[in-house]
Structure 1
Amino acid sequence: MATNVFSARIVGTGSYLHGEAIDNKQVEVLLGPVPEDILEGIQVKQRHWMIDPETGEHLVTNSEMAAGAAAAALERAGLEPGEVDLIVMSTASPEHLLPPAVTYVQQRLGIEECATIEVRSGCAGFVEAADIARGYLERGAFRTALVIGSEAISPLLVPMYRGIDPERIRMRDRLVAYTFGDGAGAIVLRAEEAEPETRTGVLGSSILTMGGAKKPGMQVIGGSTHAPQHKQQQAKRLLDLKVDVVESGKYIPHMITRSLRDLLRASDLAAEDIALWVVPEGNAGYMTSELEAAGLLTDEWLALRDKVYENIERVGATGSAAVPLALDEAARTGRIRSGDKVMLLAIETSKWKYAGMTLVWA
């Protein structure tokens, strides 16, 4: 007896960015300036924050942003929230440790019953979430899945500058504040019957944590169970965001090289087959110079560097939201055409992770 073969296809994308964009001049008023050459390296010219920059008050929540992006993706797909069987969400900045933020998204969308899964990760998390969702769809367990990446990073920035003279703020704290933004992005995946020999939907994926023996490159410390509560309350900041910029510059070229090779092999594709590479938090020219300095200008990179789509200068580094925000922008601006082979690749420095996926654009 023949069994149905399903492919998971993207049928809608959506984004949510709160309020008006905050440019570098506005950040300079809050935290002081950074040298122009460093600004050029950071690449970010504007970002959106879920807070009031002056008071630090929250104007929207993580799950509200996630629900906004999800609603936009459903509208573009021509689907109602009630048709969603599964929601998989990635975030490193939920409102609460429990319940999972994804359950609040379900509630905000008015979905009484559906399966929900939450991935606790940063940049790589969205692609991990998409891979989980497509597994359920391809085996016929569900028909329609929402995959969401959402981050609220600006609340971690407020203690760095609120009530402090900008001239007294450390340069490393200024760099963090200039780098990060908030937002949410989402896709709708739909299970469609496919011919066994036809390559449609998701073609392949690859995930790996390369930092099993390395110190984290990024940490959010505080407000959890790593230390007694009374000791945490004595810390300078209840929550602290730490970024190892130097080690990131050294190690990311190796991660890019490894992830490209593994993902293309897993997808049975050559670099020349890819029409668009969504790598939202890296400037292609800057990465070329870094790879060249590390002696890692591979044939794969040279074939792909002119196909990179990025939007970090417009939204900042947005963690789990980075890939879907860039993908939605590329879709809305016509950079992707039906039948294109698209590569999604996210590099995460928290414990040196990457997650990648290739798919045929429907």
Structure 2
Amino acid sequence: MHTPDVLDTRILSVGTALPGAPVGTAELARRFGMDALWEQWVDAFIGTRSRHLAVDVATGRQTATLADLATEAGRRALDRAHVEPHEIDLLVMGTSTPDQLMPATVNVVADRLGINDVSSYQLQSGCSGAVQALDVARQMLLTGRHRTALVLGGDVVARFYDMTADLSALPPEQLVNYVLFGDGAGAVVLTTEPAPGTTTLRAVRTRLVGLGREPGALLEWRGPVDRNPGRAPAAEDYKAIEKHVPLMAAQMLDETLDEAGWTREDLHHLLPPQLSGRMTERIVAHLDVPTAAEVSCVDETGNNGNALVFFQLERALEKLGPRERAVGIAIESSKWIKSGFALERD
């Protein structure tokens, strides 16, 4: 539970970046030769109206890298916080799709932003990676060794797509990826310095709960030696996700509230997991927090992985009034990680 004499971690700003204009389901259907029934299936079972892709749908050419998007998001966050690059002394990034194995994308972004002589970390993780990055940054700030952190998160999944694929021949666990995911990046500036009128990060939790469970999501990283055409580059076990995610989200909501010393009745806003539009609707209904207004974005941005939390945060900070509270939850299905964080406006 928070007590006044404990050092606070405050959110000074949020910045986000999307690659280009939204791509609607109808545009994808035309590109891949799918019919109106496919569009209806996407609307009924996925519920994501649009997504932003770092690949030109017409040509298959990549139009933006993760470093491009993260740099844009980071620069916006720094500008909004009125923080200069030399004032940052800690960088943490969460992603499942780094541009390269080396150098780490976080360090490429630091170079582009003019940040140097700092501690930097890159976490390899799915949707919970953004919360893991917040957790690592917060814990390091609370030691007193660092004062101001730039926390980044994002993914570019579209570069794994085969834009020449015959979608009608793909199994459901591969087909769903073409409509489920989008690309993007986000950034948050955190500080332990006094900053009246800002939002405080009261609690952050991440828990691996994948013991004995088969992965619910797969994203390959291959080189010329280990390429195997028999293995799909990306796949989702959507049935397992539908089964486990609502329960894990409810568990993490209770755990995060307990850590913050709050009850469900104390919540004004809820940032639920953002797998897809329809899944988010089911999760919100399962969580049953009638006092909290939902803060979601996935039906517009697509599931852009580690960027989602930042897009939700950006919207939440616009809505939070004085003394209002919010809880965010992210669930990673690759090897089942549940995570959550608690916010309170001064």
The TM-score, its normalising length taken from structure 2, stands at 0.89
Judged with a 3 Å threshold, the aligned counterparts in structure 2 of structure 1 residues 305 and 169 are, in CA distance, closer, same or farther, namely farther
Unaligned runs of 5+ in 1: 195-199
Q: Does 1:310 align with 2:300?
A: no
Per the TM alignment, residue 129 of structure 1 is displaced from its structure 2 partner at its CA by 0.6
* Deviation digits for residues 298-353 of structure 1 (CA, Å, limit 9, x no counterpart): xxx3225742211111101111111101211333xx32224321212101111111
Q: Does 1:103 align with 2:107?
A: yes
Contact 1:29 1:166 in 2 (8 A): no
Per the TM alignment, residue 192 of structure 1 is displaced from its structure 2 partner at its CA by 2.3
Report the aligned-residue RMSD.
2.4
The separation in 2 between residues aligned to 1:39 and 1:360, in whole angstroms, is 35
In the alignment, residue 10 of structure 1 is paired with which amino acid?
I
The separation in 1 between residues aligned to 2:176 and 2:26, in whole angstroms, is 14
Decide which moves more: 164-173 or 26-35: 164-173
* Deviation digits for residues 192-241 of structure 1 (CA, Å, limit 9, x no counterpart): 259xxxxx8222222111211100000112416xxxx53x234256x700
The separation in 1 between residues aligned to 2:243 and 2:6, in whole angstroms, is 43
Decide which moves more: 8-17 or 258-267: 258-267
Q: Match for residue 240 of structure 2?
A: 247
In the alignment, residue 259 of structure 1 is paired with which amino acid?
M
Which of 138, 145, 155 is equivalent to 1:141?
A: 145
The separation in 1 between residues aligned to 2:264 and 2:233, in whole angstroms, is 39
Which of 227, 232, 237 is equivalent to 1:233?
A: 227
Which of 319, 323, 329 is equivalent to 1:345?
A: 329
In the alignment, residue 311 of structure 2 is paired with which amino acid?
L
The separation in 1 between residues aligned to 2:281 and 2:159, in whole angstroms, is 33
Per the TM alignment, residue 172 of structure 1 is displaced from its structure 2 partner at its CA by 4.0
Unaligned runs of 5+ in 2: none
Which of 295, 312, 323 is equivalent to 1:326?
A: 312
Judged with a 3 Å threshold, the aligned counterparts in structure 2 of structure 1 residues 49 and 288 are, in CA distance, closer, same or farther, namely closer
Residue identity over aligned pairs, in percent, reads 28
Per the TM alignment, residue 249 of structure 1 is displaced from its structure 2 partner at its CA by 0.8
Per the TM alignment, residue 250 of structure 1 is displaced from its structure 2 partner at its CA by 1.0
Write the mapping of 1:66-81 to structure 2, written as runs, cut at 5 A.
Answer: 66-81=70-85
Q: Match for residue 16 of structure 1?
A: 17
Judged with a 3 Å threshold, the aligned counterparts in structure 2 of structure 1 residues 60 and 288 are, in CA distance, closer, same or farther, namely closer
Contact 2:249 2:283 in 1 (8 A): no
Write the mapping of 1:1-362 to structure 2, written as runs, cut at 5 A.
Answer: 6-31=7-32, 32-33=34-35, 34=38, 36-157=40-161, 159=162, 161-162=163-164, 164-193=165-194, 201-223=200-222, 230=225, 232-236=226-230, 240-281=233-274, 289=282, 301-304=287-290, 306-331=292-317, 334-362=318-346
Contact 1:218 1:242 in 2 (8 A): yes
Count of residues in correspondence between the two structures: 336
In the alignment, residue 301 of structure 2 is paired with which amino acid?
V
The separation in 2 between residues aligned to 1:286 and 1:349, in whole angstroms, is 13
* Deviation digits for residues 113-138 of structure 1 (CA, Å, limit 9, x no counterpart): 21101111111011111111111222
In the alignment, residue 329 of structure 1 is paired with which amino acid?
R
The separation in 1 between residues aligned to 2:262 and 2:256, in whole angstroms, is 9
